[in-house]
Structure 1
Amino acid sequence: MSVWPAWEVRDGTGATAWFGVRLEFGDGAHVDAVAVLSEGCVSIEDVRAEPALSLDDLAALADWIEDPLSQACGIGVAPDGAGPDDTDPDGTGPDGADAGSSLAGSGWPRGVEGQWLVAQKYRAAQEQGTDPVLAVMTATGYGRRKSLRLIGQARDAGFLTRRRARH
């Protein structure tokens, strides 16, 4: 996968930048996309694939390109690999302050402490008979995708049992 800056337009309040994204697969298939970064948000503007993507593959495209695209856009990835957050690549928050042990946007702790807390919220919701993913979303302030990633990390760390056996 490769990501490169395509062009940037500056105005009085900031800038909008476009990035080219290319995924190449071993069988010769490829996906080309144009992503735009504006006001701290990354959006996909155009996608072309050869052969054409199925709807499932199109939905998975965001997961495939999220981390490399975020790094190229300067949004940053958490040091523990948790995914994009509001910290810069050097570990500082948007105001230049050290992000420390919490995510700049939500105050949710990183690493083992955050994984343990996610597991606690998840299990408590299960015991109460409520939606555990929604409980994690509410506790962290993140959307469904990021919350599912945090739950997966808690599973990988051994705080939650595996959802299903892998064959």
Structure 2
Amino acid sequence: MSVRPAWEVRESGAAATSWFNVRLAFTDGARVDLLAVLSQAALSIEDVRAEPPLSLDDLAVVAEWIEEPLFEACGSHLGGGREQDRDGQARRARPAWPRGAEGLLLVAEAYRAAQEDGADPVLAVMGATGHSRRESLRLIAGARDAGFLTPRHARR
């Protein structure tokens, strides 16, 4: 795997947005090329190309594989978004989130607040919990099952 800076846009001498090329090469000849974008201390994937094509499940696994090398390459740009675990390994900090009914109630509150503001409620839950889209959708479904959110579809 390789991570290389691609280019950077500066505002008033400080880096505002940076792009990174990421390549995963496998021994069987398969490869995945990504373009990661770092803007305002947020890291996102802008483009993914794979040969052979990836399924959605494979794409989720690729995100886990590239997370650490990307944060290592971008760490100087990210500032305080990382911390050390017990073994001294760097890891991404995730906000503490309560488990059980209390956590589901907080998920429901974040979801409803985003709806009222006209924002994407799933992204609001992702931002509040620090979890992936898949995990956030699971939490939202749990909040619905617990009765904190209205059912997604009217039952007949």
- Please name the residue that 2:67 is paired with: 66
Counterpart in the other structure of 1:78 = 83
User: How far apart in 1 are the matches of 2:74 and 2:39?
Assistant: 10
Partner of 2:51: 50
Query: Higher strand fraction: Structure 1 or Structure 2?
Result: 2
Q: TM-score, normalised by structure 2?
A: 0.55
The 5 A counterparts of 1:128-143 are 130=101, 134=104, 142-143=129-130
1:21 corresponds to which residue? Answer: 22
Structure 2, unpaired ranges of 5+: 111-127, 136-156
Following TM superposition, by how much is the alpha carbon of 1:136 offset from its aligned partner in structure 2, in angstroms?
9.7
Moved over 6 A (4+): 135-138
**Number of the residue aligned with 1:4:** 4
Q: 1:16 to 1:131 in 2, by over 3 A?
A: same
Q: Residues of 1 paired with 2:4 and 2:106: CA distance?
A: 34
Matches within 5 A, 1:152-167: none
Residue identity in the other structure for 2:57: D
Name the amino acid aligned to 2:43: V
SS at match of 1:70: helix
Q: Is the 8 A contact 1:67 1:77 kept in 2?
A: no
| Number of the residue aligned with 1:30 | 31
Q: Which amino acid aligns with 1:7?
A: W
- Residue 160 of structure 1 is matched in structure 2 by none
The residue number in structure 1 matching 2:143 is none
Secondary structure of 1:78's aligned partner: strand
CA deviation profile, 1:5-37 (whole Å, cap 9, x unmatched): 111110136421110101112211110001111
**What TM-score do the two structures reach when normalised by structure 1?**
0.52
Instruction: Encode CA deviations 1:57-105: one digit per residue, 9 max, x unaligned.
Output: 12222211111101111236432147323xxxxxxxxxxxxxxxxx8xx
Q: Aligned pair count?
A: 107
Which structure has greater helix proportion?
2
Contact 1:18 1:36 (C-alpha < 8 Å) held by counterparts:
yes
Q: Is contact 1:6-1:18 (8 Å) kept?
A: yes
Alignment gaps of 5+ in structure 1: 86-102, 109-117, 149-167
